Every structure is written in structure tokens, then in C-alpha cells.
Amino acid sequence: MAVESYVLKVAEVIEETNDAKSVAFEVPDDLQERFAYTPGQFLTVAVPSDQTGLAARCYSLSSSPHSGRHQITVKRTADGYASNWICDNLKAGDTMRLLPPSGIFTPKDINADLLLWGGGSGITPVISIARTALEKGSGKVVLFYANRDETSVIFAAELRELVAEHPDRFTVVHWLESVQGLPTQEGLKQFATYFADYTSFCCGPAPFMKAVATALKELEIPRDRRHQEKFVSLGGNPFGDVEEVLAAQKILAEADDGEEAGEAAFAGPVSIEVELDGNHYAFDDWDGKQVLLEFLESKGVDAPFSCREGNCSSCACIVLDGDISMKHNDVLDAEDLADGIRLTCQALPLTETLKISYNG
């Protein structure tokens, strides 16, 4: 099975700040359906590399689905090869290889009241959610946006415009480290107190996200109203020949016999029900030897994925009945696991029957 990736032309490169640029892609009519996305999702792009041939990186879409635009925003990092290459080299008319949109950092109800948290370039998926909620939803939207200084604020002008267009629904609170110091957990908690019945979405540096998460937990905000985006740099190549990738995974699975998961997989056959994009599938012959993602692909199910290594959340599902273990996991925390979230690219069965949903 060939990896489903596409070469798209760069329509525009926009300098947002001194160290951040937005890249918009031309998506032809015949790929519009395949590249349809929900606010908060990301694209996986292939950046050329002299050492490895390419570097695969995930960048959130900063555009909103209703705009008809597919735009990512990339901020330089000190040792970030891919981000620096994009900011230094990419221009309109160039082409890039991409995987279709993926990710679960997206509101179930666009009409809900939303409390959005952005730290630095973490504004990228957050502004996609804000844009969509303000244009297509009916709830109120509050954004807490933390940055190093005023020159670091990405989308500053647009945020002002959105507030002016939606003065009764959109509130933006800027926090500048150069003026106020780093935001404290107690300060974040006090701020969130005023919006305890809102649904939160947070993206930014790890310390910022941890502080926000702890503050919301202390306020006893229910888990289904606390969401965080998590990225780990991809170590593999999701754009390579998938037969080679699967063969390598099979060798690895046979070598470690699933020991990394800490639990023995069920010896099969396993009966499984799957909910995906409004469709329902049922199979009764999963042998438990191949990971769940591979099994679903073998059945012709267009299951989402990106890295295939347990480094991102694009293949995540929720276990509704039964249980599965994972060979490797770099992105889900203990609370995610307790809520039944699993990575299908690393999943092996623990029970004779299983029901999962990709719909949240």
C-alpha cells in the first residue's frame, strides 16, 4: 500500500513576525475533499534534508476551514532544522509534499463558550479554532495569549480586527513576559475562575501547558472540557515506502514481542467495532499480531495516521469497550490513558471484543 501523500504548490508565504511565517498551499479541486479539515488540526510536511533525505514535521493549520484556505504557521526554534529551513527557503511557487490534515485537538461543539490558551507559536491551532467559532458558532470566545514581548505576538493585527468585529463575543488578554514576567499557575487559576464553565483548549511550550492544566484541574474543570495539543518531533519517515515501514515494524514487533507495553496482547481472534467519520465497521478476525492501524488498513478502512511511531496524536481513538495496550507512547499522559485514549499505530488487543471510536 502506497503512502497517501501529495505534492502541493505554495501559494503564499507571509512574514508574521521576525521569526514566524505563514505558508499557504494551493489545493486543487480534486483534492479539496481529501484536505478538508476541522479547526485545530495539523498538516505533516516533508522538509528536504541533506542527511536523511527529508525531515517530517507536523505544523498546525492557522487558517479556518470555512475560509477555503490551507495555511500553516511556522516559528523558528534555536536548533530546529525544519522550521529554519521553511523560514529561510520557502517561497511562493515552490512545492512541498504533505499528508492530509489530522489531529483531535478540535471542538466537538463550535457553539460552545471557549477559553483558549496560546503560548508563543501555540497560537496557531488556537486562532484556527477562534476564527471558526466566531464566524460559524454562537458562543463567547476568550483568548489568553502569552508571549516573550510585543514583537513576538503572532497575528497581532488580526486579533485586534477580530475583537473589533465581535466585541460582544471575543475577548483577548495579552500577557508579555517582558512586562509581567512569566505567568504563574496561581495567576492562571485566578483568571480561569471567571470562565469555569467554558471549554478550554491550550497549546504552547510544555511549562505553560502544564501550568494551565494544573490550574484547570485545581478548579475541578471536567476532563471533557480540558484539551491540550501535544507534539513530539517525528523521528521516522511517514512519507517513505509504507511496505518497508510495515516490514520494519513487523520485525520490531517480533523482536520485542510487545514487551514495551508491559502487558501481553490477547492471542485472538478479536471482534472489533469501529466508528469513524459517521461510518461503522465490524470485523471478527483481528489476530492481534499486527497493530490495530495496520489491521484496519488491511480491511480498506481509511484510518487516520501520521508518524506511525507513537509520537503524535493523529491516529488516536477512544476505547468504548474492551481494552488495548500500546507498544510505544510519547504523547498521551496518564489522564489521557485513563480516559480511554489510545494510539492505534501502537495498539495491540487485551480483550476478546473491542469497540473504538475516532469521533471523540
Class of the 6-101 domain? mainly beta
Q: Is the peptide bond before 205 cis (omega within 30 degrees of 0)?
A: no
Neighbour-count burial for 147-171, b at 16+ CB within 10 Å, e otherwise:
beeeebbbbbeebeebeeebeebbe
Give which of 325, 312, 314 is closest to 351, Cα–Cα: 325
CATH superfamily, domain at 242-357: Beta-grasp domain (3.10.20.30)
48-84 residues labelled b (16+ CB within 10 A) or e (exposed): eeeeeebbbbbbbbbbbbeeebbbbbbbbeeebbbbb
pLDDT at 102 (0 to 100): 83
Give pLDDT, residue 261.
Answer: 41
Question: H or E stretch including 121?
Answer: none
Q: How far apart are alpha carbons 106 and 117 in whole angstroms?
A: 14
pTM, entire model: 0.76
Are 133 and 38 contacting, i.e. CB atoms less than 8 angstroms apart?
Answer: no
Question: Where in the chain are the domains?
Answer: 6-101, 114-228, 242-357
Q: What is the pLDDT of residue 245?
A: 32
Say which residues have a Cβ less than 8 Å from residue 139's Cβ, sequence separation at least 6: 110, 111, 112, 113, 114, 133, 169
Each residue's pLDDT tens digit in the chain (360 positions)?
335 789 999 999 999 999 999 999 999 999 999 999 999 999 989 888 776 667 788 899 999 999 999 999 999 988 788 899 999 999 999 999 998 888 888 998 999 999 999 999 999 999 999 999 999 999 999 999 999 999 999 999 999 999 999 999 999 999 999 999 999 999 999 999 999 999 999 999 889 999 999 999 999 999 889 998 876 555 556 676 433 333 333 333 333 333 344 455 677 799 999 998 788 999 999 988 899 999 999 999 988 877 777 877 778 888 999 989 998 887 787 778 877 889 999 999 999 999 999 865
Amino acid at 72: I
Instruction: Select the CATH number that applies to the domain covering 114-228 from these four: 3.30.930.10, 3.30.450.20, 3.10.450.350, 3.40.50.80.
Output: 3.40.50.80
User: Count of CB atoms within 10 A of residue 140's CB?
Assistant: 18
